[in-house]
């Protein structure tokens, strides 16, 4: 006789926990496997540098799966980054400072005409 109220109390105590666990959104599983798209490679490079990734291209890198070369523009800086992303480990293999990608370089100044000589 005494076990029924105890079982009922335990069941009532578990109901809110079950309701809360069922209502929460499932957390995303961390990405595993190879980096298969340019969008994934850009996201990894942006997360590492804090800039905006402009281009990504496949490159051969240490094995069959290769890697990605991503150019990242840094909005508040005069130089950007070129990141090499390893497809196997999903990590930045190397970072190199480059001139700001997507912008004018020093050679691309305004057009000037020279007058006087022919």
Q: What is the pLDDT of residues 39-84, one digit of tens each?
A: 999 999 999 999 999 999 999 988 778 899 999 999 888 999 999 9
Cβ–Cβ < 8 Å for 73, 52: yes
Q: What are the φ and ψ backbone dihedral angles of 108, each rounded to 5 degrees?
A: -100, 45
Write the DSSP symbol of residue 100: P
**Rounded percentage of the chain residues whose pLDDT exceeds 90:** 39
The pLDDT confidence band at residue 16, using thresholds 50, 70 and 90, is: low
Whole-number pLDDT of residue 30? 61
The pLDDT confidence band at residue 12, using thresholds 50, 70 and 90, is: low
Q: What CA–CA distance (Å, rounded) separates 58 from 36? A: 10
The pTM of this model reads 0.61
Q: What CA–CA distance (Å, rounded) separates 9 from 65? A: 57
Instruction: Return the bridge partners of 92, or none.
Output: 85
Higher-pLDDT residue of 60, 108: 60
C-alpha distances in angstroms, 12 versus 9, 15, 17? 5, 5, 10
Whole-number pLDDT of residue 72? 95
Higher-pLDDT residue of 25, 14: 14
Radius of gyration from C-alpha coordinates of the chain: 27
């Amino acid at each position: 006789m005494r076990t029924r109220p105890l079982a009922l109390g335990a069941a009532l105590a578990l109901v809110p926990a079950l309701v809360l666990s069922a209502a929460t959104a499932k957390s995303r599983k961390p990405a595993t496997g190879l980096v298969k798209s340019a969008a994934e490679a850009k996201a990894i490079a942006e997360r590492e540098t804090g800039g905006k990734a402009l281009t990504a291209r496949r490159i051969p890198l240490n094995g069959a799966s290769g890697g990605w070369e991503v150019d990242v523009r840094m909005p508040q800086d005069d130089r950007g980054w070129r990141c090499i992303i390893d497809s196997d480990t999903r990590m930045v293999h190397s970072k190199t400072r480059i001139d700001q990608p997507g912008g004018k370089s020093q050679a691309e100044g305004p057009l000037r005409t020279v007058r006087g000589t022919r």
